[in-house]
Amino acid sequence: MRDDTPFKVHAARRLEGIRLSMLMEESAVQRETNLNALRRAAAARAGAMSGGLLNQDVELIFAATEALISTVIACRKELAAEAPDLLLPHPYLKDFHATLNQLADGAVIAVQQRHAKSSPAGQFPAAILSAVLGSAVRRANILKNRINNEIQAMALEGTLRMHERNPPHLTNVFNGPVGNFAQNSSHFTQTASSGVSPDIARLVAEFTDHLDELKLEARQKQRAEAQISALKAELAGDADPGTVAQAGRSLRNITEGAIGSLLATAVQPGVWHWVQQTMNSLF
pLDDT tens column, 97-120: 999 999 999 999 998 888 765 555
Do 274 and 145 belong to one domain? no
- Per DSSP, the residues of 192-223 read S--S--THHHHHHHHHHHHGGGG---HHHHHH
Collapsing DSSP states into helix, strand and coil, what is residue 150?
helix
Task: Measure the CA–CA gap between 247 and 279, rounded to whole angstroms.
Answer: 11
Do 213 and 139 belong to one domain? no
Flag whether pLDDT at 186 surpasses 50.
no
Residue 66 lies in a domain: yes
Do 149 and 207 belong to one domain? no
Residue 186 lies in a domain: no
Q: Which residues lie closer than 8 Å to 14 by C-beta, 6 or more apart?
A: none
73: number of Cβ within 10 Å: 19
Do 140 and 52 belong to one domain? yes
Do 220 and 133 belong to one domain? no
Cis peptide before 269 (omega within 30 of 0): no
Provide the β-strand partners of residue 171.
Answer: 189
Q: 5-14, 174-183, 191-200, 236-245: which has the highest mean pLDDT? A: 5-14
- Beta strand spans in the chain (E): 170-171, 188-189
- Domain span including residue 99: 5-159
Do 10 and 109 belong to one domain? yes
Do 10 and 133 belong to one domain? yes
Residue 168 lies in a domain: no
Residue 174 lies in a domain: no
Cα separation values, 52 from 45, 62, 131, 132, 136, Å: 14, 16, 12, 10, 14
Residue 53 lies in a domain: yes
Do 116 and 60 belong to one domain? yes
pLDDT for 263-283, tens place per residue? 766 555 567 788 888 888 887
Flag whether pLDDT at 133 surpasses 50.
yes
Do 31 and 143 belong to one domain? yes
pLDDT for 146-180, tens place per residue? 999 999 988 888 887 776 765 444 444 444 444 44
Residue 177 lies in a domain: no
Q: How many domains are there within the chain?
A: 2
Instruction: Work out the mean pLDDT of the chain and round it to a whole number.
Output: 79
Provide the β-strand partners of residue 170.
Answer: 188
Could you tell me which of 60, 62, 55, 59 has the C-alpha nearest to residue 124?
55
Look at residues 159, 182, 217 and tell me which one is the last residue of a structural domain: 159
Cα separation values, 147 from 14, 100, 101, 144, 249, Å: 22, 7, 7, 5, 17
Task: Measure the CA–CA gap between 129 and 111, rounded to whole angstroms.
Answer: 10
Q: Which position has the higher pLDDT, 170 or 86?
A: 86
Do 139 and 211 belong to one domain? no
User: Pairing between strand 170-171 and 188-189?
Assistant: parallel
Flag whether pLDDT at 50 surpasses 60.
no
Residue 178 lies in a domain: no
Residue 182 lies in a domain: no
pLDDT of 244? 85
Q: Which residues lie closer than 8 Å to 256 by C-beta, 6 or more apart?
A: 276, 279
Look at residues 159, 185, 209 and tell me which one is the last residue of a structural domain: 159
234: number of Cβ within 10 Å: 21
Look at residues 159, 184, 204 and tell me which one is the last residue of a structural domain: 159
Do 12 and 141 belong to one domain? yes
Do 257 and 142 belong to one domain? no
58 and 51 Cβ atoms separated by less than 8 Å: no
Task: Measure the CA–CA gap between 167 and 195, rounded to whole angstroms.
Answer: 16
